[in-house]
Amino acid sequence: MIKNNKKQKILVAMSGGVDSSVSAALLVNQGYDVTGAYMVNYSQAEGQCWRADYQDALRVCAKLGISLLKLNFQKEYENLVLKKMFALYKQGLTPNPDILCNKFIKFGSWLFQAKKLGFSYLATGHYAEIKQIGAKLQLACAKDTAKDQTYFLHQLNQNQLKRAIFPLGKYYKPQVRQLALKFKLPTADKKESMGICFVGKVPMKKFLATRLKQKKGPIYLSGSEELIGQHDGLPFYTIGQRHIGAVHSKRPLYVLKKIKSANALVVGYEDDPAYYMTNFKVKNINWISGQKPDFPLQCLVRLRHQGLMLKGEIDKNNKNNSGQVKLAQKTTIAPAGQFAVFYQSGVCLGGGEIA
């Protein structure tokens, strides 16, 4: 959270997109000492799109009259995100690379390097707000609820938030586009990028196949043990996803279970009780305040980015910082390895990994 001192140096992470461009422009317009930084995190054959983005970031910084550093974090991204992601998929889990990236790279390695280079803050184009209540910092939801990214940021702690700035938290996306036009930024009309964090728009199954071996196995229909097809390898399937493959009927089938010991996949229809859940365990809960709340905690629970806010209750944590979540209504199953994130009154409290 930025302190009232215009002389403090701010490093803005420039992706070459409109959000980070406007973030930099707003800070420059407010009179802060701003430097841009383009981070190279992944550059294998299918991830060369960063070169065009770097050129866009250069053009934006030239327009704003600020310098642009190019920093290389490929080693850190490989070791802290990709290796962990592939290992978790191999175990049958479904990790979230964007959450890993924010925790270990953007507000880990990037922030460490920013401080090392003499910058007081790291600013990004995330849609979120940081508010101070007493001695504690809160991660508040963005004004634009359709763009809110607190789900991806819920693993941050107080020390990280103290050095972070999110200039777009008070704006709606159309307003950001208008600001880009107002500042005459070269990226004003640039489309949003989608895909795996820093890797690009490549199907996850195709990306996983670059490092994980395909080991085919049987697909069974839930409740009947009927063999209805063959899968390509358990890591390539996510619990809850619609199953595209064996044609069994006109009704859609969904992945309900992975049986690692038998290398088997179990699928079922949307009226199968196994397709829904109300109670589940979470582990390694991160409380952004640094303090555990009073239990049982009544809050809203989000299981996916932009997913519905579900009323729920969290019981008292045990010594392993895990707990039990009880939802007021059933919802479709979420895969182990993904995250449940907790909210109260528009503030992200933190979250934990679905066990």
Annotated ligand binding at 289? The verdict is no
Q: Copy the structure tokens of residue 9.
A: 């140096």
* Region class of 321: left (phi > 0), else alpha (psi between -120 and 50), else beta: left
Task: Please write the tens of the pLDDT for every residue from 203-231.
Answer: 788 888 888 988 999 999 998 889 999 99
Q: Tell me whether residue 13 is annotated as binding.
A: yes
Q: Which of 141, 197, 299, 348 is catalytic?
A: 197
E strand or H helix at 177: helix 173-182
What is the domain partition of the chain in residue ranges?
9-182, 213-269, 274-354
Find out whether 189 is annotated in a ligand binding site.
Answer: no
The answer to whether domain 9-182 and domain 274-354 are alike in fold is: no
20 annotated binding-site participant: yes
Long-range CB contact pairs, 149-152, < 8 A, 24+: 149/305, 150/341, 150/343, 150/348, 151/99, 151/302, 151/304, 151/305, 151/306, 151/307, 151/339, 151/341, 151/348, 151/351, 152/96, 152/98, 152/99, 152/102, 152/126, 152/305
- For residues 247 and 232, what is the distance between their CA atoms, to the nearest angstrom? 15
Average pLDDT of the segment spanning 28-56: 84
Q: Which residues contact 256 (CB under 8 A, 6 or more apart)?
A: 222, 239, 266, 267, 268, 272, 274, 275, 333
SS3 label, residue 30: coil
Model confidence at 42, in pLDDT bands (50, 70, 90)? confident
- Average pLDDT over every residue of 35-50: 76
Q: Answer yes or no: are the C-beta atoms of 71 and 113 closer than 8 Å.
A: yes
Catalytic residue among 101, 141, 299, 348: 101
Give CATH for domain 274-354.
2.40.30.10
The answer to whether residue 156 scores a pLDDT higher than 70 is yes
Alpha-carbon gap, residue 50 to 309, rounded angstroms: 34
Is residue 222 annotated as involved in ligand binding?
no
- Residues near 45 by Cβ (< 8 Å), separated by ≥ 6? none
In tens, the pLDDT along 227-253 reads 999 999 999 999 999 876 555 567 889
* SS3 (DSSP) at 9: strand
Return the CATH superfamily for domain 9-182.
HUPs (3.40.50.620)
3 has pLDDT over 80: no
Is 19 known as a binding-site position? yes
Active-site residue, 49 included: no
Question: Is there a binding annotation on residue 17?
Answer: yes
Which residues on neighbouring strands pair with residue 352, listed in sequence order? 340
**Mean pLDDT in residue range 34-47:** 80
In the annotation, is 197 catalytic? yes
* 23 neighbors 179 (Cβ within 8 angstroms): no
Question: Whole-model pTM?
Answer: 0.92
CATH number for the domain whose boundaries are 213-269: 2.30.30.280
pLDDT at 97: 92
Which residues are registered as beta bridge partners of 230? 218
Q: Enter the DSSP assignment of 235.
A: G
- Average pLDDT value over all residues in the chain: 91
On whether 14 is known to bind a ligand per the annotation, the reply is: yes
> What pLDDT does residue 27 have?
98
| Coil, strand or helix at 26 | helix
Q: Among candidates 176, 151, 187, 184, which has minimal Cα distance to 286?
A: 151
